């Protein structure tokens, strides 16, 4: 007999399991198909402020408090200490066969207040936990179950698996690159700007870079580079170092290490194994090689072809592709999980609405397609132009400010909107113009368009052309009235953002925190600095370790499994 469900989901990565928990919590009958079995190895481990903020929004607006557990280090008592801490993004720029020049560096410090620092997620643990959370809320998860075919008709979706047949009103494909629906409808394409491949593994005995290269004080960084995500960057690529053992409570000795290369500059070496190719490449950078000299892999090295892919469409009648099933660009800037969680916020809302109206058509879900493809397009351009800027450090020194400004504005918009929205509909409506970076602020989009166009036109090998382009970009930043002093300091040569985010100049009328004119209206509306300070203080108290521990004992829904008394109480 065919089993009937409201929603079927393919895949139990972070996206599929999070969506399953939300829909099950809202009372829907949910079935999830997973071809593999947890726990399992995967990457995508570095959190960013935007992702963590949307996790908090999902937890609040859909009443699933557990979805915030991976949003900061303050949740270690909940999720365990196999996850690392992330206090910054750090970038060290390298030239072949030369020592790393400490002046060619950047540390983007992540604020500790009000939520705690970000984390490096050990994905085999996070994905397993989130899958079990979905099960605890009522989703049926079928691991080791392969989907063989999907048929859509006017009244529902038939799913044929190697464990039997299922029927649902709607299906979401969260199966990543091998999306069965993208393949079935011939939607997959690779017409993207970015062009990279990767070699990666998990390792032990990876030292802090400062133990083998220049010390922390030589850079003037607020934090050791091992306390966050380290990017070794160079012409045509970068190498990540993401430790899970970088804080006093750590219980995981692993470190994620991966090399991203533009295959048009560095074609895949078929004559070498993945490990041999990795070391043959990094040998040209003496300080990278020194850091990894004593490191040992704990699993086989993985090597891929081109990573980038997208899709012509995201939704059809009665089905949708979620995040990485629709497209993927590059792990640079760790935007992938942000796209995942924003699209979860949208698709869950649309599914709940369709359940009321009975309209599961592609037209009803068109806002999800517009959002997803818009985020992928902006990410693609940001990544492609970053790789190009690494062709000449002078270009990267100014283009990095565009990335940081866009991320900052996005985070501000997300946070203020969650704190001031009246409900989920209001929250989503106020974020309708967001596109991955810039917080939906049209003057930022205009600035971004000018700078991206300049980067796309410049020849990194022509120093005169580079100098002219850099000068034009600096003038564009100078004409942006709301550029904070921290970003102006970077343009003036400083190599890190301040650790102390609470500074007197935040009170300045134009370039302070609130800004003025259309900037203030867009990001803060009628709220005063005093209003927002009160909200921030409330958030700091609410998300402090003692408060979270208390909430888990008294309010977290899964606490009912151990005898707590409030499984149905709202988290907000």
Does the pLDDT at position 29 exceed 70? yes
Task: Please tell me the predicted confidence (pLDDT) of residue 500.
Answer: 76
**Average per-residue pLDDT in the chain?**
94
List CB contacts of 54: < 8 A, sequence separation 6 or more: 338, 341, 342, 345, 414
Q: What is the mean pLDDT of residues 111-123?
A: 96
DSSP string, 90-145: EEEE--TTS---TTSEEEEEPP-TTT--EEE--HHHHHHHHHHHHHHTT-EEEET-
Q: Which 3 state secondary structure label does DSSP give 352? A: helix
Distance between CA atoms of residues 470 and 484, nearest Å: 19
The predicted-structure confidence for 68-111, as pLDDT tens digits, reads as follows 999 999 999 999 999 999 999 999 999 999 999 999 999 999 99
pLDDT at 509 over 90: no
Residue 564 confidence class, pLDDT cut points 50, 70, 90 = very low
Q: What are phi and psi of 276, to 5 degrees?
A: -65, -40
CA angle, residues 443, 448, 451, in degrees to nearest 5: 130
- For the cut 60, the answer to whether the pLDDT of residue 560 exceeds it is no
Measuring CA to CA, which residue among 458, 456, 418 is closest to residue 434?
Answer: 418
131-134: long-range contacts, CB 8 A cutoff, minimum separation 24:
131/12, 131/17, 131/32, 131/34, 131/38, 133/17, 133/21, 133/64, 133/66, 133/67, 133/558, 134/12, 134/17, 134/18, 134/20, 134/21, 134/24, 134/30, 134/32
Q: Which SS3 state, helix, strand or coil, does residue 247 take?
A: coil
**Taking 50 as the threshold, does the pLDDT of residue 569 lie above it?**
no
Report whether pLDDT(504) > 80. Answer: no
The structure tokens listed for 463 are: 């120093």
The DSSP bridge partners found for residue 147 are: 161
Comparison of pLDDT for 552 and 171, the residue scoring more: 171
At 553 the pLDDT is 78
Is the pLDDT at 197 greater than 60? The verdict is yes
* Residue 38 near residue 203 (C-beta atoms within 8 A): no
**Segment 225-234 mean pLDDT:** 98
pLDDT digit string, tens, across residues 272-330: 999 999 999 999 999 999 999 999 999 999 999 999 999 999 999 999 999 899 999 99
Query: What is the structure's pLDDT at 565?
Result: 33
The pLDDT of residue 508: 62
Does residue 7 contact residue 28 with C-beta atoms inside 8 Å?
Answer: yes
**Torsion sign (Cα): 174, 178, 182, 183:** negative
Q: What is the pLDDT of residues 415-450, one digit of tens each?
A: 999 999 999 999 999 999 999 999 999 999 999 999
**Separation in Å, CA 521 to CA 172, 464, 516:** 37, 40, 8
Q: Which pLDDT score is estimated for 562?
A: 40
The CA-atom distances, in angstroms, between 359 and each of 154, 156, 310, 349, 351 are 11, 11, 26, 13, 9
For 408-417, the pLDDT digits (tens) are: 999 999 999 9
CA distances to 39, 157, 358 from 153, in Å = 35, 6, 14
Q: What is the mean pLDDT of residues 359-382?
A: 98
Give residue-wise pLDDT tens across range 248-272: 999 999 999 999 999 999 999 999 9
Q: What pLDDT does residue 511 have?
A: 61
Residue 513's pLDDT band (boundaries 50, 70, 90)? confident
């Amino acid at each position: 007999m065919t089993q009937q469900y409201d929603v079927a989901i393919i895949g139990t990565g972070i996206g599929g399991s999070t969506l399953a928990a939300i829909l099950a919590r809202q009372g829907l009958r949910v079935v999830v198909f997973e071809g593999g079995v947890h726990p399992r190895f995967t990457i995508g481990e570095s959190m960013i402020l935007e992702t963590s903020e949307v996790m908090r929004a999902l937890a609040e607006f859909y009443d699933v408090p557990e979805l915030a557990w991976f949003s900061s280090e303050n949740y270690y008592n909940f999720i365990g200490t196999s996850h690392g801490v992330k206090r910054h993004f750090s970038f060290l720029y390298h030239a072949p066969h030369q020592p790393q020049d400490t002046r060619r560096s950047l540390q983007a410090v992540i604020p500790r207040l009000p939520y705690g620092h970000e984390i490096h997620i050990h994905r085999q643990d996070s994905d397993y936990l989130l899958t079990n959370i979905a099960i605890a809320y009522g989703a049926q998860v079928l691991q080791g179950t392969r989907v063989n075919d999907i048929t859509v008709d006017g009244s529902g979706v038939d799913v044929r698996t190697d464990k039997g047949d299922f029927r649902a009103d709607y299906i979401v494909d969260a199966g990543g690159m091998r999306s069965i629906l993208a393949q079935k409808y011939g939607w997959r394409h690779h017409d993207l700007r970015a062009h990279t491949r990767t070699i990666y593994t998990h390792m032990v005995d990876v030292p802090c870079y400062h133990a083998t290269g220049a010390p922390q004080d030589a850079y003037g960084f607020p934090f050791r580079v091992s306390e966050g995500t380290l990017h070794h960057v160079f012409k045509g690529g970068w190498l990540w170092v993401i430790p899970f053992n970088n804080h006093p409570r750590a219980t995981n000795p692993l470190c994620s290490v991966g090399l991203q290369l533009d295959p048009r500059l560095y074609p895949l070496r078929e004559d070498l194994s993945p490990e041999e190719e990795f070391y043959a490449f990094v040998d040209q950078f003496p300080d990278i090689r020194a850091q990894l000299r004593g490191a040992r892999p704990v699993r086989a090295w993985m090597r891929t072809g081109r990573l980038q892919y997208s899709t012509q469409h995201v939704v059809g009648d009665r089905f949708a592709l979620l995040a990485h099933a629709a497209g993927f660009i590059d792990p640079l800037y760790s935007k992938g999980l942000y796209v995942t969680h924003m699209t979860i916020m949208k698709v869950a809302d649309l599914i709940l609405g369709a359940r009321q109206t009975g309209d599961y058509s592609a037209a009803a879900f068109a806002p999800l397609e517009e959002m997803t493809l818009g985020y992928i397009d902006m990410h693609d351009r940001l990544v492609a132009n970053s790789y190009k800027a690494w062709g000449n450090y002078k270009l990267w020194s100014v283009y990095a400010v565009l990335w940081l400004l866009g991320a900052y504005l996005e985070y501000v918009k997300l946070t203020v909107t969650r704190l001031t929205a009246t409900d989920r509909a209001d929250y989503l409506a106020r974020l309708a113009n967001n596109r991955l970076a810039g917080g939906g602020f049209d003057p930022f989009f205009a600035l971004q368009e000018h700078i991206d166009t300049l980067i796309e036109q410049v020849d990194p090998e022509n120093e005169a052309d580079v100098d002219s382009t850099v000068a034009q970009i600096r003038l564009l930043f100078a004409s942006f009235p709301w550029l904070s002093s921290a970003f102006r300091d970077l343009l003036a040569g400083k190599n890190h953002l301040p650790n102390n985010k609470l500074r007197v100049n935040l009170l300045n009328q134009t370039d302070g925190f609130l800004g003025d004119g259309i900037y203030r209206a867009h990001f803060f509306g009628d709220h005063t600095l005093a209003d927002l300070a009160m909200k921030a203080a409330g958030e700091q108290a609410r998300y402090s370790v003692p408060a979270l521990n208390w909430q888990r004992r008294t309010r977290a829904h899964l606490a009912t499994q151990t005898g707590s008394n409030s499984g149905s109480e709202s988290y907000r």
